[in-house]
Amino acid sequence: MGIRDLGKFNLALLGKWRWNLFNHHGELWAQVLESKFGGWRNLDATRRSIRESLWWRDLGYACNLSEKGSWLKNGTKWKVGCGSKVLFWEDGWMEDGVSLKEKYPRLYQISQQQNRHIQQMGTITDTGWEWKLQWKRFFLEAEIDTAAKFMKHLHRLTIHVQQQDMCRWEGDSSDKYTMGSAYELLNRNFPLESLDEMFKALWEIKVPSKATIFAWILIRERLPTKSNLRRRNVETNDVTCAFCRSHDEDKAHLFFT
């Protein structure tokens, strides 16, 4: 009937906050949020601080709601200019969107420049951009071919020092975030059909009814985990797991990891 899924539509609305925080970071409202919570970069953090507001924490959860990684990050691509905003190793700023940390894990481990922005990894000379990479030790024989491939890849790239870094939204031809395209991306990441098939199979399993009902409640995110209680505005002083004290107590962590 053309009625939208309100949950996904709400996620699309929340996603626009992160998009605007990056693209309008110089405006007063964005500066206030950056000074208070750390800005758009802090939304990607997996650990949430208990000092954050409920709205900011929910925004962080919404932006990273996917087993395959952040649905919002998957829909955006970097357009590198001067490299002042883009992390050299951690951000997926290459053509395929895969970070250098994932492509070259051994080189990342021996780099002295982890968590540095692209702009800090080189300098402009008379002949153009020149990389200034620093390593903790000399390359081992098994690493030489990988290092050569890595450097060859880097030298094909161009850094435009006079331009600003930008994010490109792949879901729309205008390269800008739109509600319609974000909603379609969420439909592809979280198809309703898969849940329908899951529930159909669940009710047919020959197990005690209480086990089936518990699994249904778990999948529907209705268990009173600390994360769910906080989301429903129930006061909780601590949302971390009671067993490990290092992750938030949500269904994925509590039952699977």
Give pLDDT tens digits for 201-229: 889 999 999 999 999 998 888 899 988 88
Find, among 23, 15, 62, the residue nearest to 168 by Cα: 23
Residue 67 confidence (pLDDT): 46
Compute CA distances 43 → 72, 163, 172, 251, whole Å.
Answer: 11, 25, 23, 20
Q: Are residues 142 and 218 in the same domain?
A: no
**Residue 220 token pair:** 């529907």
- Residue 219: what are its φ and ψ, rounded to 5°? -65, -35
Q: Are residues 30 and 154 in the same domain?
A: no
Residue 213 confidence (pLDDT): 93
Q: Are residues 56 and 82 in the same domain?
A: no
Q: Are residues 180 and 251 in the same domain?
A: no
Count structural domains, the chain. 3
Residue 50 confidence (pLDDT): 58
pLDDT digits (tens, 9 = 90+) for 54-70: 788 888 877 776 544 56
| Sequence-separated (6 or more) residues with CB below 8 Å from residue 234 | none
Q: Are residues 22 and 43 in the same domain?
A: yes
**Residue 49 token pair:** 């601080």
Residue 69 CA to residue 92 CA, distance in Å, equals: 12
Residue 123 CA to residue 241 CA, distance in Å, equals: 45
Three-state SS at 85: coil
Compute CA distances 224 → 49, 250, 252, whole Å.
Answer: 20, 9, 13
Q: Which of 137, 160, 187 is the last residue of a domain?
A: 187
HSE-up of residue 247 (Cα within 13 Å, Cβ side):
13
Q: Are residues 90 and 160 in the same domain?
A: yes
Q: Are residues 88 and 159 in the same domain?
A: yes
Find, among 178, 187, 183, the residue nearest to 16 by Cα: 178
Mark the ranges of the chain whose per-residue pLDDT is less than 50.
67-68
Other Cβ atoms less than 10 A from the Cβ of 65: the count is 16
Residue 234 confidence (pLDDT): 85
Residue 68 confidence (pLDDT): 43
Q: Are residues 125 and 203 in the same domain?
A: no
Q: Are residues 126 and 14 in the same domain?
A: no
Note down the domain range covering 108: 77-169
pTM of the model: 0.64
Residue 40 confidence (pLDDT): 81
Q: Are residues 146 and 213 in the same domain?
A: no
Q: Are residues 52 and 8 in the same domain?
A: yes
Q: Are residues 71 and 21 in the same domain?
A: yes
